[in-house]
Structure 1
Amino acid sequence: MLVMALVAVVLAATAVWMTWDTRTQLHSLEQELVRRQQGSADQSAEALVLARQAQEVSRDSAAKAALLEARLAEVALQRGQLDDLIQSLSRSRDENVVADIEAAIRVAMQQSALTGSAEPLVVALRSADDRLARINQPRLERLRRAIASDLDRVRSVGVPDIGALLIKIDEVVRLADELPLVSEAAITGRHAGEARAIPAGTASAPVASATVPRKGSAASAQAASAGASSPVWMLAWSRPFDEIWSELRSLLRVTRIERPEAMLIAPEQGFLLRENLKLRLLNARLSVLSRQLDAASADLQSAQQAINRYFDASSRKTQVAVELLRQIAQQSRLIGVPKPDETLVATAAAVAGR
């Protein structure tokens, strides 16, 4: 019984101890749970605060990101506008250069037309090529090729000296008053023949015999052949008869006239003819100065036809005038300076942006 009691006591003590230990553990667990619950509450509160802060930060970040995106879009737009502006400025500069080149070439064309020299146009084309070489734009290479082509074409054309042409025209105008007409040449030739037929007026037989053969008549030839054996008184009596015979022969002349209108010109008509010739030459001079090639050629041709028709072609002055007119007509065909058409077309295409 005692053993059972002891066992019971031991069991009871064991149970009490186990109960107390269990309660102690439970109390410890409760405290730990309370502590942990408090820590969890604090952590949750802190997490909530952090979450709110994170939410606010994310909201701020989103706002900042949106602002940055807006600014980025604005910067991209400004960059695009700046690129367009730079391209516009670059193209505007090229267009201004092309416009300046075109204006310079047109001014050079006017100077070449006024002076009759291709040098102003050559200088303008060289200057334009140098400017394009300094710019070095690929889109203007076509213009450079056109300028090079026109420059070679202008250099290859020979341009006459306008001053020399004008001097020659003035010389022909001066000769117009000295050119002998066909009618005047015929009259002058008849008087010259009569003067050659008159003897020198000496009484010696050798001189008479030397003068008479130049008349060319058969009677004079016979008198000259018989002069050596004829006495002096016979020669003195025959001389008046020879003069009368020469005068009678000079009254009638048979001449072949190819242009009757040239022989029928009166002296006052000859004056008007010379003045008309001068007007033709002066018109040709003005046409040469104004670079009107067709009008100059027509006036020069009319003047040359008038000289060939109404003036004595055997005269030295007439031959000189005809030769001068031929040289003027030949050289005046080279007056025209070629136009730089390829350059003008290329400048128009460059301005249009093609």
Structure 2
Amino acid sequence: MKPEQDDTYQLPPGGPKTEPLVSASELNRADRVHVTGPSPWWMRSIGVLAVVGVVGSGLMWVKLSGIQEQLARQSADSGSQATQARMTSKQAEELARETAARLSVTDAKLSEVALQRSQLEELMQSLSRSRDENLVVDIESAIRLAQQQAQLTGSVQPLLAALNSAEQRLIKVAQPRLAPVLRAVTRDMERIKATAVADTPALLFKLDELVRAVDRLPLLNAVGVVNTEKPPQVVPATSWAKAISMGWWEKVMSDVWDDAKNLIRVSRIDKPEASMLAPDQSYFVRENLKLRLLNARLGLLARHFDVVQSDMKQANDDLAQYFDMQTRQGQTTLALAREVLAQSKQIEIPRVDDTIAALTTAAAGR
């Protein structure tokens, strides 16, 4: 088809510029369009769009209905959950109130228990202090009594026994505030054990032995004791020798010869004053020696060691001057007397000043 000829009128060049005018062909085409109406494909497109809109609206309506039902169910569930939450909150409030009440009761009981505990601790501390004070007083009195007994008897055994008992009791108690007392007791025990002290009970026993031995000691002027025991005679082994070994006349002659020998005694006396003693004076020599030993015993009990030394020196001189020291009994007695003289020395009983000071400090509570 040939394009239609444009019938528009154009102004000549140089003329006034105006808007172009619509051609006749365009006017005819517009008239044809208005007269003929819309085309079929536009109608089908519109119908399809309408159907799609209706279907979409239906689907949207169904979806909205499902959403509404879901929202309704969720709303119902939320309501039930809210109801349960309110019930749970009420139960929690009741439980909280009950717990608060129980907690207040527990706090009251706890404060009461704490008060009772503090009172019990104070009571225990007071009992402990009272026990420690009683222990300190008891130990101090025992040690002072043992010290006095040691001064009277001259033996350190009572003092050592009291210190040992105090040490055992302090170790058993194991109180820190009594530790200085335990150390002082240990120091005093070691010092007493290291000190050489005269054993008064042993010395008294030895003096009693000397007093008993004086009565049995032979004097220098005493007549010798006849030995009645005859030496055993050797009997020949043969029966013939036994028959002729000794007759009755030989026994008679032997007895007469023994009596004759006892009539005369020949001895040497280096100290003439001992031989000049009369037989009745021997009794007084023995009694004077026993009195001197008893006097030394009294001096030992009275702690007068100078008197003991003087008496024992004189007793040793009397033993060596008037008694026979050549016999075994005499030598034993003289050795015992010299031992007593050597051991009876003036030795002061050690004092337990450290222990007494520690006990005084502990009793004062420092």
TM-score bracket for the superposition, by shorter chain length: 0.3 to 0.5
Higher relative contact order structure (alpha carbons within 8 Å, sequence separation ≥ 6):
1
Q: TM-score, normalised by structure 1?
A: 0.44
- When Rg is computed on C-alpha atoms for both structures, the one with the higher figure is 2
Which protein has the bigger helix share? 1
